[in-house]
Chains A and B, each alone.
Chain A
Amino acid sequence: MLGQLAAWLTRDLAPGVAAYQQSALGMSAGLIGMCIEEADRAVARRVEENAAIRGLLARGADLVEARLSARLQALAEGADASLLVSALEAVNAELRAALIDLHAAVEALDGEAARALEADIWAELRASTERRRLSAGTV
């Protein structure tokens, strides 16, 4: 249905308006297309990502200083209490903020465990862009 709306904007409305409005309608149709892509995966990608980050935080808690470790451990033991996208997104933001702090801390550590965790953090960051990837993306 949203796809039909996007097509109506670009095929039916756009030809009859001035250049700027044509461009704005094209952008709006593009946004609708991105919403269609995102709507289907919105819950799945957040649930998957939150679980992946919790796993990294749990491992990191064993490597970093006490205060950060306690924060990571608490977040790692959390769960997605609601499958509303807004609730999952709020949890995701908290987890990704902690991942930034863990990543920075691990970069400063020596040892195989730190390097292995750092590599896995990069793997998760790679995966995070795949989960969010849009078909119209330029990269």
Chain B
Amino acid sequence: MSDLSEKLAAYLAGQMPGTSEVAVSDLSRISGGASRETYRFRLDWRDAAGSAASRLLILRKDPVDSLIDTERRTEFSAYRAFHGSAVPVPEMLYLEEDESHLGSPFFVAEQIAGFEAGPMQLLGPPYAEHHPAYAQRKWTILGEIARADPAAVGLTEGMESPALDACWSRELDHWEAIIDADALEPLPIIRAAIRWLRANPPPPAQKLSVVHGDYRTGNFLYDQAGGIHGILDWEMAHLGDPLEDLGWSFNPIWRWGRPGLVGGLAPREQAIAIWERASGLVADPAALHWWELFNCVKGQGIWVSSSKAFADGKNRDPILAFSGWLMGNAQDRAALEVMDKL
């Protein structure tokens, strides 16, 4: 770890002209970095006047093979687009795609310290009594993401802008291809879901929105009193139908064993009402159902990819095998439930 600390300090010193004594300490890898290796660390330096300064930061570094194959520039740009807005995100500081510095691309960001992210912890005391407040905040923030103008936040340059009537096919084509390539065994439930989705396409998107891509309980930082202070894991961000994110947040696998409560937090209709108020959009029931089923396909795409990466020996992080196996089975059951076949 000290070698990484030294290389990181050298890189950051080069990014901070006029400073001296730039040092990295307390560098430690943290969990939750299934698609990136994530480290927290403390940076100390002296400014040009010689005053000491320090900051808690995050390093997100590409692994050899990740749970989700995405460009780190996409994630960096999405975070940066929402910094300072009603959508709480950490400040992005440096993006480096040159592998010569740390062996793989990475970015450095502000560390939002003092909050929790684990989904299971959120379900118990002292958090459980504040679930209505978390739900209000969670789907309000998602509504804000949906409401944002992708051009105004600077994301139309680096991200493809599909036609409103092509948002669904772009995503379905993408995830079906991943399943075709990575599935280690036949998936009759998910194949049936794909056939239904193609035979019953949704209406065109109401607008082109920023889609977080993994907006769920487990991907935000929360306090003990119903507050949410950081939306994380934007690596699957793209432009598309705003109902895609709402459908992903309703994926039964993300209710963490709490039937009847989307995200484990709130009744479905309540979450929809919060989202509609915040976004100014309408969650057409038939369209939302399409996106909920699509997200079961997408979820299975993620789980088969993670299983394959582990089985191929490209990445030995046990989260890949654990999530691939555990969530793959749950995702099949979720698809049956969404299709009213369970």
Contact = CB atoms under 8 A, between A and B. Distances in A.
Contacts of B152: none
Interface string B207-230: 000000000000000000000000
Interface residues of B, number: 37
A137 B330 contact: yes
Contact of A125 (B31, B189, B254, B318): B189
Question: What is the interface residue range for chain A against chain B?
Answer: 20 to 34
B17 to A, nearest CB: 33
Interface string A14-33: 00001110111001101100
B186 A100 contact: yes
B23 to A, nearest CB: 20
A99 B190 CA distance: 12
B192 A31 contact: no
Contacts, number: 104
Tell me what chain A mostly uses at the interface: helix, strand, loop, or mixed: helix
Contacts of B253: 138-139
A34 interface: yes
Given A103-B188, A122-B341, A138-B256, A129 B31 contact: no
Given A34-B325, A100-B188, A133-B329, A28 B318 contact: yes
Contacts of A92: 185
A100 B254 contact: no
A102 B333 CA distance: 21
B28 A20 contact: yes
A134 interface: yes
B192 A125 contact: yes
A122 B330 CA distance: 17
Contacts of B30: 19-20
Contacts of A97: 186
Contacts of B327: 138
A22 B257 CA distance: 23
Interface string B315-339: 0011101100111011111101100
A134 B336 contact: no
Contacts of B29: 18-20
A139 B256 CA distance: 7
B336 A125 contact: yes
Nearest to A118: B192
B115 to A, nearest CB: 15
B333 A137 contact: yes
A70 interface: no
A56 B255 CA distance: 34
B257 A126 contact: no
Interface of A: 18-20, 22-24, 27-28, 30-31, 34, 89, 92-93, 96-97, 99-100, 103-104, 107, 122, 125-126, 128-129, 132-134, 136-139
Given A27-B322, A31-B318, A139-B252, 6 more contacts: A18-B29, A19-B29, A22-B31, A24-B319, A128-B188, A137-B330
